[in-house]
């Protein structure tokens, strides 16, 4: 069974779906892997390393995809790319199903079976396939380095002959996977870190990393999957009041607050930015979903009253080596979950398969009620 890895085509995407180490693992499992020439180049993985791991190097995307039963991607396919996926093949990647209705219809028409990495359920059994977490870890780390680079201050406290330098103050909004990694990274650099969230579970996690929890802990804010729910306008107002003082006191604010399937909560108003010291920096990791700061512009850096607001998008692509390594392990784990005796086998009674399959056998499954058991038609 042939597994194809085309080069990513989205501008700025430096990651690759499989790294040589994982190719070796799939080849050992009896799969044939075809990698488009140069697919790993931007992440530092040369064609020769893939060849050594047992992959075939294809001259271009068409050659890599020819005869492929499985196509592995990071980003959802762009227009022309989608039609190049062989009919009846299986595609796995970050497919953004909520924003890809047309694409899913095209998959169904061409009987492509599609799995969205962002829908892997957050259950213990699926942890090794959890690409949202692995990529959020990278993003949280990178956001702190971006912030540290943009302020004109040290992060650590320094006691020197030239006097004592106080440590930088970092505020992290949203203490999920990215936020916790941001806290750990800022602490390692020596900053004083405060963190804010609304899920009660976040408090202990924040404190275990040596930061101070300054959030709200609302029992009703957490859903059964461990994610935050959208809060009422009243709660958002209460949060803003609490945050006004905390934001004004921070040198760097890293914002990561998200609610799955909803626009990012608006936590920092323009007035709050105006209360910050000139030279301070906000790094907004929620920029892709509208931003946690009113002034954020996705993919841009704006300055307001001397404060820099960075709308960081696709932050994981800024650290492509480890981001690709981690993603590659995640996607290979999901693929091997779907393979029995060297062939694909879809068991829709299995929670992982059922939750992340968005198109199968000519049908779009995303958005359909997901029955706990039964035929593909019952999945969703
Ligand atoms: P996410 O990216 O959806 O959200 C980031 C953070 O924003 C969350 O901590 C959320 O509580 C917070 N947030 C949302 N609205 C907010 C608001 N109005 N004010 C302040 N903060 C707000 O979440 P995530 O990082 O992908 O995951 C969240 C949690 O899910 C994790 O911390 C963990 O507990 C759980 N999780 C479980 C598993 C597993 O069991 N396998 C894997 C990954 C994550």
CATH number at residue 92: 3.40.50.720
In this structure, is the dihedral angle defined by the CA atoms of residues 179, 184, 189 and 193, taken in order, positive or negative? positive
State yes or no: is 127 an active-site residue. yes
Does residue 122 carry a catalytic annotation? yes
289 shares its domain with 327: no
Ligand 1 close to Cβ of residue 195 (< 6 A): no
Q: What is the DSSP letter of 373?
A: S
Is 61 among the domain residues?
Answer: yes
Instruction: Catalytic residue, from 2, 76, 130, 197: name it.
Output: 130
- Residue 202 CA to residue 361 CA, distance in Å, equals 41
Assess whether the C-beta atom of 140 lies below 6 angstroms from ligand 1.
no
| 373 belongs to a structural domain | no
Same domain, 334 and 358: yes
Domain boundary among 313, 337, 353: 313
Give, for ligand 1, the residue of 217, 226, 242 to mutate: max count of ligand atoms closer than 8 Å to Cβ: 226
Has 135 been annotated as catalytic?
no
pLDDT at 380: 35
Question: Residue 120 Cα, ligand 1 centroid: separation in angstroms?
Answer: 15
> Do the Cβ atoms of 69 and 1 come closer than 8 Å?
yes
Q: Are residues 334 and 306 in the same domain?
A: no
CA of 75 to the centre of ligand 1 (A): 22
Sign of CA dihedral 6, 177, 174, 316: negative
Domain-located, residue 318: no
Q: Is the CB of 139 under 6 A from ligand 1?
A: no
Find the 300 Cα to ligand 1 centroid distance in Å. Answer: 25
Q: Is 374 a member of any domain? A: no
198 in contact with ligand 1, CB cutoff 6 A: yes
Residues 94 and 164 in one domain: no
In a domain, 148, yes or no: yes
For residue 176, give its domain range.
139-313
Do 17 and 61 share a domain, yes or no?
yes
pLDDT of 80: 85
- Residue position matching structure tokens 């359909």: 368
pLDDT value at position 221? Answer: 75
Q: Are residues 279 and 147 in the same domain?
A: yes
- Dist. CA 177 → ligand 1 center (Å): 6
**9 and 46 within one domain:** yes
Closest residue CA from atom 8 of ligand 1: 176
326 CB within 6 A, ligand 1: no
Q: Which atom of ligand 1 is nearest to the CA of 177?
A: 25
Q: Ligand 1: which of 133, 135, 140, 177 to mutate, judged by most atoms within 8 Å of the beta carbon?
A: 177
Q: Is any atom of ligand 1 closer than 6 Å to the C-beta of 120? A: no
Residues 287 and 257 sit within 8 Å (Cβ to Cβ): no
User: Residue 377: inside a domain, yes or no?
Assistant: no
Considering the domain architecture, whether residues 307 and 330 belong to the same structural domain is answered as no
Residues 26 and 167 grouped into a single domain: no
Q: Is 132 in the pocket of ligand 1 (CB under 6 A)?
A: yes
CA–CA distance, 286 with 82 (Å, rounded to integer)? 27
Q: Is the CB of 200 under 6 A from ligand 1?
A: no
Q: Are residues 262 and 293 in the same domain?
A: yes
Provide the whole-model pTM.
0.93
Of all protein residues, the one whose alpha carbon is nearest to atom 37 of ligand 1 is 122
Residue 378 belongs to some domain of the structure: no
The residue to which tokens 């850096």 are assigned = 301
Bridge partners of 359, per DSSP, are 114, 364
For residues 282 and 147, membership in a common domain is answered with yes
Same domain assignment for residues 263 and 304? yes
Q: What angle do CA 74, 13, 93 make, to 5 degrees?
A: 10
Question: What is residue 370's predicted lDDT score, i.e. its pLDDT?
Answer: 67
Half-sphere exposure of residue 62: CA atoms within 13 angstroms, side-chain side: 1
Domain count, the chain: 2
Ligand 1 atom closest to 201 (CA): 34
Instruction: Report the separation in Å between the CA atom of 21 and the middle of ligand 1, taken as the mean of its atom positions.
Output: 30
Among the options 51, 110, 111, 133, which is catalytic?
133
Local confidence pLDDT in tens for the 380 residues of the chain: 999 999 999 999 999 999 999 999 999 999 999 999 999 999 999 999 999 999 999 999 999 999 999 999 999 998 789 999 999 999 999 999 999 999 999 999 999 999 999 999 999 999 999 999 999 999 999 999 999 999 999 999 999 999 999 999 999 999 999 999 999 999 999 999 999 999 888 999 999 999 999 988 777 777 777 778 888 888 888 888 889 999 999 999 999 999 988 899 999 999 999 999 999 999 999 999 999 999 999 999 999 999 999 999 999 999 999 999 999 999 999 999 999 988 999 999 999 999 999 999 999 999 887 654 444 433 33
Question: How far apart, in whole angstroms, are the C-alpha atoms of residue 244 and residue 211?
Answer: 19
Give 228 Cα–ligand 1 centroid separation in angstroms: 6
The verdict on residue 195 lying in a domain is yes
Contact 104, 358 (CB under 8 A): yes
Which residue is closest in CA terms to ligand 1's atom 18? Answer: 265
């Amino acid at each position: 069974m042939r597994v194809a890895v085309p080069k990513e085509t989205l501008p700025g995407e430096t990651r690759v779906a499989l790294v040589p180490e994982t190719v070796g693992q799939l080849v050992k499992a009896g799969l044939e892997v075809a990698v488009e020439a140069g697919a790993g180049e931007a992440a530092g993985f040369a064609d020769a390393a893939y060849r050594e791991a047992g992959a075939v190097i294809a001259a271009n995307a068409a050659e890599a995809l020819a005869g492929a039963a499985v196509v592995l991607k990071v980003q959802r396919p762009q227009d022309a790319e989608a039609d190049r996926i062989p009919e009846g093949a299986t595609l796995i990647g970050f497919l953004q199903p909520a924003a890809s209705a047309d694409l899913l219809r095209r998959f169904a028409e061409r009987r492509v079976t599609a799995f969205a990495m962002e829908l892997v359920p957050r259950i213990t059994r699926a942890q090794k396939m959890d690409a949202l977490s692995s990529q959020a870890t990278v993003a949280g780390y990178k956001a702190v380095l971006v912030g540290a680079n943009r302020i004109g201050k040290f992060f650590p406290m320094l006691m020197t002959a030239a006097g004592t330098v106080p440590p930088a103050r970092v505020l992290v909004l949203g203490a999920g996977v990215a936020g916790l990694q941001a806290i750990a990274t800022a602490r390692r650099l020596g900053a004083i870190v405060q963190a804010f969230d609304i899920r009660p579970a976040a408090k202990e996690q924040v404190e275990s990393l040596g930061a101070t929890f300054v959030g709200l802990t609302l029992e009703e804010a957490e859903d059964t999957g461990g994610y935050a729910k959208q809060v009422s306008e009243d709660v958002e107002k209460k949060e803003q009041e609490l945050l006004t003082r905390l934001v004004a006191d921070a040198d760097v604010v890293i914002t990561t607050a998200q609610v799955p399937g909803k626009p990012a909560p608006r936590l920092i108003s323009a007035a709050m930015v105006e209360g910050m010291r000139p030279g301070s920096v906000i790094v907004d990791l929620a920029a892709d979903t509208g931003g946690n700061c009113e002034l954020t512009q996705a993919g841009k850096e704006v300055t307001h009253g001397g404060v820099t607001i960075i709308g960081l998008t696709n932050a994981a692509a800024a650290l492509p080596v480890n981001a690709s390594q981690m993603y590659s392990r995640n996607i290979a784990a999901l693929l091997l979950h779907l393979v029995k005796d060297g062939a694909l086998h879809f068991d829709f009674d299995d929670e992982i398969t059922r939750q992340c399959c968005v198109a199968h056998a000519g049908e779009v499954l995303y958005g359909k009620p997901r029955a706990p058991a039964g035929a593909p038609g019952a999945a969703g």
